[in-house]
Structure 1
């Protein structure tokens, strides 16, 4: 069995810069890689696969999961959970898009009293 690479620390730090600024979102070690949680709910998980690719999985609304899945690479529908979508991270990753996906994932997973505090794309608060 091939070893799983660790995600580059700079990428983990970029993810943490977005999620760590959100109410009660905490970075935690995962079975492989790093996860972020709000309460007991996982918001995001970045990890290396046995194929040596680095993946980030997040939660999204069902229509967003479908839209991203249909875009194809680097996006994919995870094989678990109806609202889990992922993308392969590499040197061409659009980190602004990743920040939006992370923020949306937080708002899907967080209790509404926390999610309602988060500015969403377009400068509005999610209502």
Structure 2
């Protein structure tokens, strides 16, 4: 998990008022009290809900995030490495691999943050990315 923690941490640290905390399993990033990213390992089929959703008993590392609209529909149906999280209709997961596209992670995590952040913060992030 360590090879993915640094890059995800760096992306999330650039988002205003975002903070990192230990989750019940893995690490999550939040804006106010809303989780916009969750990074966790799957090993020996645990945690079972994530292993089932991702279609792997591991070892693997997954990242979950929020999405909406056409992008959400596309990510839910594109198949591996993406998967629909059964615990939230707007939550998507991706099984990370060493060749993960860093720019795609930036886009997915920034979009997730903007969906859950207060409007003023989201607008600030969107204005800065243009």
Instruction: Give the alignment partner of residue 72 of structure 1, picking from 73, 79, 89.
Output: 79
What displacement does 1:46 show?
0.4
TM-score relative to the length of structure 2: 0.83
> For the residues of structure 1 that align with 2:79 and 2:29, how far apart are their CA atoms?
25
> For the residues of structure 2 that align with 1:72 and 1:109, how far apart are their CA atoms?
25
1:37 aligns with 2:30: yes
Contact (CA 8 Å) 1:65, 1:77: kept in 2 or not? no
TM-score relative to the length of structure 1: 0.85
Contact (CA 8 Å) 1:23, 1:114: kept in 2 or not? yes
- 2:16 alignment counterpart: 23
Contact (CA 8 Å) 1:26, 1:36: kept in 2 or not? yes
1:105 aligns with 2:112: yes
> For the residues of structure 2 that align with 1:116 and 1:91, how far apart are their CA atoms?
32
> For the residues of structure 1 that align with 2:127 and 2:8, how far apart are their CA atoms?
16
- 2:92 alignment counterpart: 85
Runs of 4+ in 1 over 3 A off after TM superposition: none
Q: Which runs of 5+ in 1 are unaligned?
A: 1-6
Contact (CA 8 Å) 1:44, 1:102: kept in 2 or not? yes
> What whole-Å deviation, never above 9, does each CA across 1:55-88 have from its counterpart, x for those lacking one?
0000011321210122111011101111100100
RMSD: 1.5
Q: If each structure's helix is expressed as a fraction of its own residues, which one has the higher value?
A: 2
> For the residues of structure 2 that align with 1:99 and 1:53, how far apart are their CA atoms?
20
